[in-house]
Amino acid sequence: MFRITAKKILSSALVAAFSVSLFTSGAVSAATTLRFGHVHIAGELAFELEQEFADRVAKRTNGELVIKVFPGEQLGKEVDLFQQVKSGALDIASPSMAALSNLTPALEIASAPFLWKDWAQAERIIRGPVFQPIFDELRDKHNIIPLTKIWYWGWRNLTTSTKAVSKPEDMAGLKIRVPESPVWVEMIRAMGAAPTPIPFGEVYTALQQKTVDGQENPIPTIYARKFYEVQGYLSMTRHMLQNNLVIINKRSFEKLSPEFQKVLLEEAAAVSEKNTRLQQEQEGKMLEEIRKQGKTKVVDEVDRAAFAAKMGPAYKNLEARWGAANLKRVRDAVNAAGTAGAN
């Protein structure tokens, strides 16, 4: 009896010691949680893929790194979210480069009007060394690191209520909603219309109530937000590229293990690639659906060269904001690759 009791006591002691050892050594630890806030809603591809990004990270790390997603402006508007990432109140967000230019103005160059020949050219230059000094400034001055520099959203096109637009002269007298960003204000003014800043969440109502005559956005946004319901014309101006980023607070990233950092970067890249493929496929399908709805006439024949030729004053007024060296470096790269418009 004594031997059995002693064995039991010894066994219990070993189990207890092992448990303490696991606890104190950190072998058993709580999951690390990152908070990801974005503005996208159900029906937008980004909504689904941003959740997929979180799911893939959790799977790769066996649940040890968790990304909790807060969609649909739950934590604030786009500007609020990247400001929270800067301060460290939020870990991850997915703003457009143009919106993030509130912190680093040169990011706006990616959205410069009539700059790019095509997506392949834009992607190559944004990913490469030409844009790196701009991303370095974002990191060093604002504590923000891109997990991916590419999140294709689409070419922006113009919608109007009662007047078809195919050339600059058609813009006269129109009030066009724009984001609160200098590049949009300068572009619409150069195109010949009156830029009218309105928060994104109020655009549908502003169009419906005819507070403004039109707006401009990528096809996926026009479709998902149903702007075509309250607009008579969609002009395929392709005047500007919208590319988003997935960003993380620098300290949040640096606190992670190298293994977790690697997982975040690899999964962000994988989902970014999937997003580009699916978004480009959906653009065509959504445009055809808008045509079939019959509420909006699609204007395919647009004199883009005439619009591009009007952009000189916009570039001149924005050069100081962007930095002459930054603008020259990007334009030199574009021109070396061959460009479509006169800027």
Alpha-carbon gap, residue 319 to 329, rounded angstroms:
12
Burial 190-200 (b: 16+ CB within 10 A, else e): bbbbbbbebeb
CA distance 153 to 283: 9
Q: Please check whether residue 331 lies inside any domain of the structure.
A: yes
- State the pTM of this model: 0.84
Residue 258, domain extent: 31-337
Residue 18 belongs to some domain of the structure: no
Cα–Cα distance measured from residue 174 to residue 328, given in angstroms and rounded to the nearest whole number: 32
Could you tell me if residue 176 is inside a domain?
yes
- How far is 160 from 245, CA to CA, in rounded Å? 29
Q: Where is 220: in which H helix or E strand?
A: helix 219-224
Question: Residue 29's pLDDT is what?
Answer: 60
Residue 6 in any domain: the answer is no
Chain centroid offset of residue 61 CA: 25
- The DSSP-derived string for 160-216 is ESS---SSGGGGTT-EEEE-S-HHHHHHHHHHTSEEEE--GGGHHHHHHTTSSSEEE
Question: Is position 151 within any domain?
Answer: yes
CA atoms within 13 A on the CB side of 195: 17
Q: Phi and psi for 143 in degrees, rounded to 5?
A: 60, 35
Residue 17 lies in a domain: no
Q: In this predicted model, what pLDDT tens digit does every residue of 84-116 receive, in sequence order?
A: 999 999 999 999 998 899 999 999 999 999 999
Q: Is residue 312 part of a domain?
A: yes
Number of domains in the chain: 1
Q: Which helix (H) or strand (E) holds 134?
A: helix 132-142
Long-range contacts of 55-60 (CB under 8 A, 24+ apart): 56/267, 56/270, 56/271, 57/263, 57/264, 57/267, 60/263, 60/267
Residue 323 in 3-state DSSP? coil
Task: Tell whether 174 is covered by a domain.
Answer: yes
| CATH number assigned to the domain comprising residue 67 | 3.40.190.170
Residue in the block written with tokens 């007047």: 163
DSSP H or E segment with residue 238: strand 233-249
Cα separation, 153 vs 220, whole angstroms: 8
Residues of the chain with pLDDT under 70: 1-29, 339-343
Confidence (pLDDT) at 28? 45
Averaged confidence pLDDT in the chain? 91
Q: How far is CA 278 from CA 88, 154, 162, 281, in A?
A: 32, 11, 32, 5
